[in-house]
Amino acid sequence: MLAQRERLLAEVHMTADELRERAEALSARQLDVWHTVEGIHYLLGRPERGRTVT
């Protein structure tokens, strides 16, 4: 899951923090990535939203 998260973030050239901060103005693709990253955080049981997961 972490590899998928990193690949998706690299694909849109943004960090999770950048996606969170710009959520209202994201393209459809960027919004899809944001929802996927948030889902990965949920599945990993990590409450910190938009933070780098190590």
pLDDT tens per residue across span 1-54: 889 989 989 998 989 888 888 878 888 888 898 899 889 888 888 765 545 444
pLDDT score, position 54: 42
Cα(40)–Cα(22) distance, integer angstroms: 19
CA dihedral sign, ordered 33, 34, 40, 43: negative
pTM: 0.56
Of 53, 32, 28, 27, residue with least CA distance to 42: 53
Cα(38)–Cα(20) distance, integer angstroms: 10
Cα(52)–Cα(2) distance, integer angstroms: 10
pLDDT score, position 48: 55
